[in-house]
Amino acid sequence: MVITDFLNGSSRANMIGKQRRIYKLKIGLIIYSLTGNTKNVAVKLKDKLSSAGHSVSLEEIKISGNTPAQPGKFQLTTIPDIDTYDQLIFGAPVQALSLNPVMKTYLKQLPELNGKIVACYVTKYLPLLWFGGTGAISAMKKICESKGAQVLGTEIVVWAESKREKTITRCIENLSRLF
């Protein structure tokens, strides 16, 4: 029997409210951004989720070596730890029609993601989604799912002027609705 069974209606509501506050879920918004576009979206997404009452931390993956990073020619120097988060959002740019190699390397080195709720987004410049966007997103999803995560949503943001605002808005609306 739970202790709240003994309490009257308003005490019970208070206690449940306190329990919810104590067990507030933490969202980790983990990104790699070379020129700032992916970070720009992350800041807006963080604002939206925070104003909905969520606890959100924005963390950036950092590397050493030349940029743009080439596969196998860089080291991760800042590797955000996912342990403290219940839910995760990963964001990265498309590079050479693929997922940016920094995010790919980061995701691959993560421990098991069993039980974690995940969403992913990529930013890209070329307006056609299949010029790297769909492939990059499916690579992110595949790696996360192979580690046991439940990927609830994915978005592609197009930075070309004609599609930028529309795709940013859609990304923020759709991803924030998942949490």
Ligand X SMILES: Cc1cc2nc3c(=O)[nH]c(=O)nc-3n(C[C@H](O)[C@H](O)[C@H](O)COP(=O)(O)O)c2cc1C
- x/- site string to ligand X, residues 74 to 113, per CB under 6 A? -------------------xxxxx----------------
Classified as helix, coil or strand, 93 is strand
The residue count for binding ligand X (CB under 6 A) is 20
Residue 132: CB minimum distance to ligand X, A: 4
Residue 43: CB minimum distance to ligand X, A: 12
The single residue among 47, 57, 62, 68 that binds ligand X, judged by CB under 6 A, is: 68
167 binds ligand X (CB under 6 A): no
What is the residue whose two structure tokens read 């987004």?
121
Looking at the Cβ atoms of 94 and 113, the one nearer to ligand X is 94
163 binds ligand X (CB under 6 A): no
Looking at the Cβ atoms of 116 and 124, the one nearer to ligand X is 124
The burial class, CB within 10 Å (0-12 / 13-18 / 19+), for 155 is: buried
Q: Cβ neighbours of residue 70 under 8 Å, at least 6 residues apart?
A: 101
154 binds ligand X (CB under 6 A): no
33 binds ligand X (CB under 6 A): yes
Q: Cβ neighbours of residue 130 under 8 Å, at least 6 residues apart?
A: none
37 binds ligand X (CB under 6 A): yes
Residues 127-146 that bind ligand X (CB under 6 A): 131-132
Distance between CA atoms of 145 and 168, rounded to whole angstroms? 25
Per the rule left: phi > 0, alpha: psi between -120 and 50, beta: everything else, 148 is: left
CB atoms within 10 A of CB 167: 23
Looking at the Cβ atoms of 117 and 121, the one nearer to ligand X is 121
β-pair partners for 93: 123
- Give contact residues for ligand X (rule: CB under 6 A): 33-39, 68, 93-97, 123-126, 131-132, 159
